[in-house]
Amino acid sequence: MLLFSEQIYAEFVEKELVRASKFVWISTADIKSTFIRSPDSGKFVSILEIFAILVRKGVEIRLVHAKEPGPFFRKEFDRFPELMDSDRFERYLCPRNHSKCIIVDGKVGLIGSGNLTGAGIGAKSPQKRNFEVAWVSRDPAFIAQLMEFMDELVLGNFCQRCELRSVCPDPIA
């Protein structure tokens, strides 16, 4: 299924990501403090609060991003100790990562142009959001390939051959 701009938010974020029951794997270049509707309260809350809620429910979150988030994100992150203290939340920094994909429960996957920001996932107003496109699939072969890519990334398999390792702020391996 092909999604554009706000459809990414309405059809994937609200229907799939926030309802994860086992795991969410996210790869993005940029990450900002993003606000989305909570399925529990209906109010707009930080995506980090959604991650904390999911972690408390036993969902594992894996987040790979290319650059350090800004001060607002870091301050927001500090509000949720379960993200820092839980083995269910993994965060990796890889400056070469520019892939944008999300896998939910190994059943549905998204690849697209948008970063994990309000403008990138279509959660901002129509006058402020980016023009983005994403492909969503439930095809097991598609999901398996995305999962294999994410595993290679977080296991540090790309680090071994990376010629920028000497300037990497936090090599995975």
Q: 132, 122 in Cβ contact below 8 A?
A: yes
Q: How much is the pTM?
A: 0.93
Q: How far is CA 32 from CA 10, 112, 147, in A?
A: 19, 17, 24
Is residue 173 a part of any domain in this protein?
no
Is residue 172 a part of any domain in this protein?
no
Q: 30, 66 in Cβ contact below 8 A?
A: yes
Is residue 85 a part of any domain in this protein?
yes
Count structural domains, the chain: 1
Is residue 101 a part of any domain in this protein?
yes
Residue 128: its pLDDT value, please?
78
Name beta bridge partners: 36.
Answer: 45
Residue 88: its pLDDT value, please?
97
From CA 91, how far away is CA 146, in angstroms rounded? 17
Count of other CB atoms within 10 angstroms of residue 41: 10
State which residues of the chain have pLDDT below 70: none
Its domain, for residue 26, covers 2-167
Residue 50: its pLDDT value, please?
95
Residue 67: its pLDDT value, please?
87
